[in-house]
Amino acid sequence: MFARFISEAVGLYWKAMNGSSRIRMTAVSLALSGLFLAWTQAPQAPAGNQLTIEKIADDLHVLVGSGGNVAVYTTNAGLILVDDKFERNVPEILEKVKTISDKPIRYVLNTHQHGDHTGGNAMIKDKTGAVLFAHVNARDNMVERKMPGVPGETFTDKKTIKLGGKQVQAYYFGRGHTNGDAVYVFPARKTMHMGDLFSYGGPFLDYSSKASGVEIGTTLGKALGMKVETVIPGHGPISKKEDLATYRREIETAVSRVKQQKSAGVAKDQLKVKTDDLKICCKNQLWERSMQGIWDEVAK
Ligand SMILES: [Zn+2]
């Protein structure tokens, strides 16, 4: 999932930069923030047949494939989506949503600002008039990066979104993947969408958006306090609360190993942290990059 996500981003970056002098930059020198920007801003052709629908309940589905997982919550008064992948996925998102319900999309709730979760914002708002909603820091990050589809509604600590007699609760539990990660709870379905606070193979700590490897364990601990059974990760399969607990434990193990190496005098670019005994966490290239950020955080 993440290998594809990186190669997609790098591909788009090169496409966007093609013909300019920046083509001479090496792939290694690409800042991750640049990748995210390229992702969101590079022209993207519509993509079809990449998504599958998974059912959690009659009124709660997940669109899986290409970009972050999208939750679709059905009410009599319309639909609430959590995240909306890349812009090029919008035609297929709308097509798949229509097979679930003929009601209009009324809200898109973003888990954070990254382009594989907010890329559809502008087009969906344009086509449906849906309200875009996110944590205030995620919104600020989008404004700062001049990303399209900036949410018009935000929250700080907690907010309940009500529609058609149902509700979704938005929570902010602290820094983690970014400084603006929202967790969305569907209380009637004992389910929550974690965005990339829970991402198989990760975490990726986006330090350009004030992520924290030191604090993410505490943030995940608060999410684990929610009365839910099912957990939708940002990337990866629909999971159980126990899987999130495992992920949190593994992150804390990995972070403590970085700390041990730091105090043993290992240089930042020489970090080698054992992760082959971990099941969910710390498997991808983005984790490799995140380790150095943890080293920096610990050094402060
Ligand atoms: Zn992300």
Contacts for 11 with CB less than 8 Å, ≥ 6 apart: none
CA–centroid distance, 181 to ligand 1, in Å, is: 9
CATH topology of domain 2-299: Metallo-beta-lactamase; Chain A (3.60.15)
Ligand 1 centroid, distance to 258 Cα (angstroms): 22
Ligand 1 centre and the CA of 76: distance in Å? Answer: 31
Tokens 């086509």 belong to: 127
Exposed/middle/buried for residue 94 (C-beta within 10 Å: 0-12, 13-18, 19+): middle
Ligand 1 center to 239 CA (angstroms):
18
Name 108's Cβ contacts closer than 8 Å, sequence gap at least 6: 81, 82, 83, 84, 120, 121, 124, 125, 130, 131, 132, 133
Query: If you measure from the C-alpha of residue 35 to the centroid of ligand 1, how many angstroms do you get, rounded to a whole number?
Result: 12
Residue 264 C-alpha to ligand 1 middle, in angstroms?
Answer: 31
Quote the tokens at residue 284. 């991808």
Centre of ligand 1 from the C-alpha of residue 249, in Å = 20
Question: Hey, what are 73's tokens?
Answer: 């919550």
Cα 4 to averaged position of ligand 1 atoms, centre (Å)? 14
CA 190 to ligand 1 center in whole angstroms = 24
CA distances from 163 to 105, 185, 194 (A): 11, 14, 21
Question: Phi/psi of residue 157, each to 5°?
Answer: -115, -50
Give 277 Cα–ligand 1 centroid separation in angstroms.
Answer: 25
Tokens at residue 16, please? 């966007």
CA 128 / ligand 1 centre spacing (Å): 25
Bridge partners of residue 75, in order along the sequence? 78
pLDDT tens digits, the chain, 300 residues: what are they?
A: 444 444 344 333 333 333 333 333 333 333 444 444 444 444 455 666 789 999 999 999 999 999 999 999 999 999 999 999 999 999 999 999 999 999 999 999 999 999 999 999 999 999 999 999 999 999 999 999 999 999 999 999 999 999 999 999 999 999 999 999 999 999 999 999 999 999 999 999 999 999 999 999 999 999 999 999 999 999 999 999 999 999 999 999 999 999 999 999 999 999 989 999 999 999 988 998 899 999 999 988
Distance 22 CA to ligand 1 centre (A): 25
The two structure tokens encoding residue 228:
């839910």
Query: Is 168 within 8 Å of 188 (Cβ atoms)?
Result: no
List, for residues 63-112, the tens digit of each pLDDT value.
Answer: 999 999 999 999 999 999 999 999 999 999 999 999 999 999 999 999 99
Distance CA 235, CA 189 (A): 20
The backbone torsions φ and ψ at residue 90, rounded to the nearest 5 degrees and listed phi first, read -60, -50
Distance 165 CA to ligand 1 centre (A): 31
CA of 233 to the centre of ligand 1 (A): 11
Q: How far is CA 153 from the centre of its chain?
A: 18
Q: Are 286 and 202 in contact (CB under 8 A)?
A: yes
Distance 187 CA to ligand 1 centre (A): 24
- Taking the centre of ligand 1 as the mean of its atom positions, its distance from the CA of residue 286, in whole angstroms, is 11
pTM for this one? 0.86
Q: Which residues surround ligand 1, an ion (CB under 5 A)?
A: 114, 196
Instruction: Encode pLDDT of 217-246 as tens digits.
Output: 999 999 999 999 999 999 999 999 999 999
Question: How far, in Å, from the CA of 177 to the mean position of ligand 1?
Answer: 7
Ligand 1 midpoint to CA 110 (Å):
11
